Amino acid sequence: MRTILVVDDSPTIRKMVRAALAGLQDVGFIEAGSGLQAIETLAMHPVRMVVLDLNMPDMHGLDVLKFLRSHSQYRALPVMVLTTRGDDLSRKQVLEAGASSYLTKPFSPSFLVSSVRELLDAAPDASR
């Protein structure tokens, strides 16, 4: 089972992401509603990749990303960043911060699926 951590403060978006990815083979999901929850969840569950929203309460998605990239055990964890049309952050900033991939809402489900599949297949088996 390859576990995907879906981080977004909107339950609707979380549900949509899961629905889009549900067709992938051998995947399971964990959800987190904030950056803090996301990091807590990561510390306790083996996670193969993260789908990460940016604008969230408590801890900005970009800060979550920077935190992950600054610690060795999460450096290789694939992180796909979701952002909303019109956000101040450029694609460049997000990729420089260490995002493995980058998608703007509204995204097409099929594009999400293909990007996630690519990341999952490329990533080493990080589950412990």
Partner 1 sequence: MDDYFAEADEHLLAIRRSLLMLDGVERPNPASSVLEELFRSCHSLKGISAMVELREAEVLAHHMESCLRAIRKGEIGLDSAKLDTLLAGASTLEAVIVARREGKQVPSGDDVITALRDMASASTEATPVATASGEAEQAIGSWTVRFGPSPELVARGIKVDTIRARLLDIGKIASVAPQVIPGGGISFEFLVATDDEASLASWKEDGVSYERVAPAKPEPVLQAGSDRPSGPRAWEVASAAPGNFVRVDLARLDDLMRLAGDLVVTRSRLDDTLRRVERHVPSREFRSLQEHDLLMERQLRDLREGIMRVRLVPVGEVFRRMPFVVRDLAHDVGKRITLEIAGQSTEIDKFLIERMMDPILHLVRNAVGHGIETADQRVAAGKPPEGTIRLSASTVGESVVIEIADDGAGIDLAAIARRSTKGVRVEDGTVDPRLLLDVICESGFSTREEADRISGRGVGMAVVRSAVEELGGTLDVATEPGRGTKFGITLPLTLAIIDAIIAHVGDQTFAVPQSAVQEVIEVDPGKLRPLEQNELLTHRGRALPIVRLGRLFNLDTTSRPRLHAIVVGTGLNALGLVVDRVAGHREIVVKTIADPLIHVSGVSGATELGDGRLVLILDVAALSRSVRERPRGRERASA
Q: For the chain, how far is it from start to end, CA to CA, in angstroms?
A: 12
Q: Which of 48, 14, 42, 12 is nearest to 28 (CA)?
A: 48
What are residue 58's phi and psi, to 5 degrees? 75, -55
Among 46, 57, 75, 90, binds partner 1 (CB under 8 A): 57
CA angle 9, 59, 21 (to 5 degrees): 40
Among 30, 69, 89, 126, binds partner 1 (CB under 8 A): 89
Instruction: Give the x-and-dash track for 15-54 against partner 1 (CB under 8 A).
Output: xx----------------xxxxx-xx-xxx----------
Chain residues binding partner 1 by CB under 8 A are 9-13, 15-16, 33-37, 39-40, 42-44, 55-60, 62-63, 66-67, 70-71, 73, 84-89, 105-106
